[in-house]
Structure 1
Amino acid sequence: MTQSLTARQNAQQLLATAQEQIERLQHIEPYLIDLSLRENPVGARIGQTLADKLAILPKLREFGFRNILLGTLDYSYPNELEVDDDFMMYLRDHQIDTTGCFAFTAMGLVDAAGHFVPDPSQLKLRDYQVPNTLHEIYLSKEGMAGQYDLATVLRSLPASIQWLQDNIRGDHGGAPRILINIVDGCDAFAENPDGVFEVLAMLAEQPIEGISIEDDRGTYLPLQVGAFVGAARAFLPAPLKIVVHLHAGGGFENASLIEALLNGADGAWGGLPKRAAIIGHASLGELIANLVRVGNPHMQQYQLDRLLPLATNLQELDDEAQVPDDLPILGHNAYRLPLSFFRQIPGRFMDLPPEAIGGTYRYRICPLVSDTAVIAGRLEEVCGRPAGDFPQAVLEQMIFIMRRDLRAGERIAYDQPDNLMQLYARAVRACETLVAQAEA
């Protein structure tokens, strides 16, 4: 009896701990920087023209993003301009409001004589009049190779931050908001944590908004990402921000982002769609949807009824191709029901019906499991008649015929409109035959 009571208490404590974490996610107001103008095109088949970017920017603002990255200035061959340069120059020349806007820059270096030389990206940031920056450094052995060493970082980074403070006019004429982005942050924490700690201790004394940590290949487990964020938070107390950017290499990205938030991260940067530099990333669209899922009221500041269509449209623009069908949350099949049991219900904890993010349920015929409600819904989509018009007996016959076809070795994609209507006609004939037999 005592053992049973102890087991119950332990189990209840585990559930209570999970509930405490859910409540933390419900109350967090995440610090988000949208990168739909840069992150998504990096891995896209096509990318974005200047006209595309000019059309996208107001849509991102209308959706609710207050922090938006305009582009990257620390790319290779800086004298060969990119569309990002044209975009930022256009905004400047046409006096378009860039409040809350960022661009990526690289750290300038203090030379052997002690003279600071700004990176070309810093000069562009100043000349393009972009008010804020994600200022990038590398701290792993491989990341620093050929660029600098840790001693150079510790010497140069304060000077680079000071140059930004002295030369960049921030939002509304104030100081620039500077986030130090450790591009290889997870690698550096895993490889040389003492070196990272030294840099973080120095940054805690600098006039910055905070830091960013990347898992740029998406290879670290959620538990590792959470530990790295927690370690960084030990050196960087609030109000300094810690944000993360996590790629989808190992499929951990959204779990890693939640783990980061639970371990002290303030938010994330990324594009609204899933598309990213490799095969995807922990996108802001997915994060917002998942925070809606747990009941976070702060997500109401975004136009949630535009989330799904906007994310989809942006990715289709960059790729000139359909979003992958089986992408969770944002994909074509994410809300195509194969079986009524899988329907997510409004008001049920942890469910996220498609209507909550601007979508609708649709239907997909899978011969093994699709029930009559799903078949009727798919028939409505295909032929335009209300689902209630299709007799239950006919829908049941469609299930029976699909089973018999599979048992006979027939492999037919009934979800395709022509095949579905042929199946329907066969079921109607089967019902007519049964009625005739009953009357005989």
Structure 2
Amino acid sequence: MTLEARERARAALNDAEDKVARLAAIEPFMIDLSLRENPVGSRVGQTLDEKLAILPKLREFGFRNISLGTLDYAIPDELEVDDDFMIRLRDTGVDMTGCFAFTAMGIASPDGTFTPDPSQLKLRDYRVPNTVSEIYLSSFGMEGMYDLPTLKRSLPASVQWLRDNIVGEGGAPRIFINIVDGCDAFAEASDATFEIMELLAGLPIEGITMEDDRGTYMPFQVGAYVAAARAILPPSMKLLMHIHAGAGFENASMIEALLNGADGAWGGLPKRAAVVGHASLGELLANLVRVGNTRVTDIYRVDDLLPLATDLQVLDEAGPVPDDLPIFGYNAYRLSLGAFRQRPDRFMDLPPDGIGGTYRYRICPVVSDVEAVRGRLAEVSGKPPEAYGDEVITMMIRLMRRELRGGERIDYDLPEQVMALYGRAVIAVASVGPVRPEIPA
């Protein structure tokens, strides 16, 4: 290797280390949507009583910005549970500091007449102090709603109406503008998107948010769109992202967004979302803990992260979290091989106890070692792991291999099967004694 090649190699490693350090130092700005984003994609949703019980749990976890729900839905005269929830909070005098509701933009006609959206009127009547107001910028998004001149005319008027009519937290309301099709807009109509960004940069709002609402853009594209927006917006204006899991890029895209100038994200705590999932706040927090970010551990009760996120998803789905869901799934921290154990003293590992979980075990006949088999056996039997000696455990592994070679496909992870396997191993050890390795002829 030449000196020049070695320097290039070192530069590549230094770049990665720099990115990790930046992620470890940020304090992400988050708006939690566990009261809306997760129910939207669930089989059953949330009742009023469930929402009333969830809100204090979100505050206790550490969220300071919470969306109570969405008011810009279709058929606005047919109320949703979100309406009932906000009405109840208003009527019972619950403190709504830090609370938001999603609304749509009102429309300003060419003669200057402004017509607020029904969702804005509800925001006022329900006395929610802050809002995320949604707009569309791509040709598909705006179709049938408004054109670009109408959008440019209506945005300032809509923000002004909110400032004139919504009672904020001791002053003006906190306003975010969410570009629902933000990635589409940058990809399809960059010049028009730059114009709108420049317009937003001059409005009295706290920030903007952008979505990859179908989850189809690759991480480097999301990073580029964030960098483009950040180049136009003033540093004081927050920039948040919301990314769905359509193509499986979501968490990688969220990291790219943060590295390219995003201040944070909005989303639900669990994985469940409007599509098949999203870059959830729970996953983002876990991944920031993974890189050693102490700001999030100071603010949020990350030691409750795993149980809270899974409990909320179980509630929304009226069913279990998918077993193989990373971080929060049942199998995420079930060891099938001891070498897979994540350790607190190893770079980039996140042991389960760091987010409120524990290690468990599962048996995979092709790979499971003594640690995994012994651990699963102890779980099933209720006896301590040390009750099972290496000789019998090793025989269990031998028998799994022999039975699979013989064409038997057995789910040894099932309690009845692992106990039956143990029984066969005890008999085998007693009958043949120590077993030498089987070497093919």
C-alpha distance in 2 between matches for 1:437 and 1:264? 61
SS in 2 for 1:133: strand
Q: Kindly report which structure 2 residues correspond to 1:291-306, keeping only aligned pairs within 5 A, or say none.
A: 291-300=288-297, 301-306=299-304
- 1:310-389 correspondence to structure 2 within 5 Å: 310-389=308-387
| Matching residue within 5, 8, 20 for 1:7 | 5
How far apart in 2 are the matches of 1:157 and 1:61? 32
Q: Which moved more, 1:429-438 or 1:386-395?
A: 429-438
Q: What secondary structure is seen at the aligned counterpart in 2 of 1:179?
A: strand
Deviation of the 1:205 alpha carbon: 0.7
Listed as ranges, the matches of 1:103-252 within 5 Å are: 103-171=101-169, 173-252=170-249
Deviation for aligned residue 1:437? 11
Aligned-partner Cα distance in 1 for 2:18–2:316: 40
Measure, in 1, the Cα distance between the counterparts of 2:354 and 2:434. Answer: 48
The amino acid across from 1:413 in the alignment is D
Task: Give the 3-state SS of the residue equivalent to 1:161 in structure 2.
Answer: helix
**Quick one: which amino acid aligns to residue 414 of structure 1?**
Y
Normalising by the residue count of structure 1, what TM-score does the alignment of the two structures yield? Answer: 0.98
Corresponding pairs, count = 435
Runs of at least 5 residues in structure 2 that lack an aligned partner in the other structure: 437-441
The C-alpha deviation readout for 1:72-97, integer Å capped at 9, x for no partner, is 00000000000000000000000001
Aligned residue number for residue 255 of structure 2? 258
Mapped to 2, the partners of 1:369 and 1:389 lie a distance apart of 22
Tell me the amino acid that sits aligned with residue 392 of structure 1. Answer: D
Q: Cα deviation per residue 1:344-384 (whole Å; 9 max; x = unaligned)?
A: 00121100000000000000100001011111110111010
- Aligned residue number for residue 281 of structure 2: 284
CA distance in 1, matches of 2:120, 2:189: 28
Gaps of 5+ in 1: none
- Percentage of pairs with the same residue: 66
Q: Does the residue aligned with 2:241 lie in a helix, a strand or coil?
A: strand
Task: State the TM-score, normalized to the length of structure 2.
Answer: 0.98
Structure 1: how far apart are the matches of 2:28 and 2:283? 13
Task: Give CA-to-partner distance per residue, 1:33-89, whole Å, 9 cap, x none.
Answer: 000000000000000000000000000000000000000000000000000000000
8 Å Cα contact 2:391/2:434 also seen in 1: no
Query: Hey, what's the Cα distance between the residues in 2 that align with 1:114 and 1:99?
Result: 33
Looking at structure 2, the residues matched to 237 and 167 of structure 1 have their Cα atoms a distance apart, in angstroms, of: 26
* 1:317 to partner: Cα distance: 0.3
Q: Provide the residue aligned with 2:439 in structure 1.
A: none
The aligned residue for residue 72 of structure 1 is 70
Aligned mate of 1:268, from 250, 265, 269: 265
SS at match of 1:418: helix
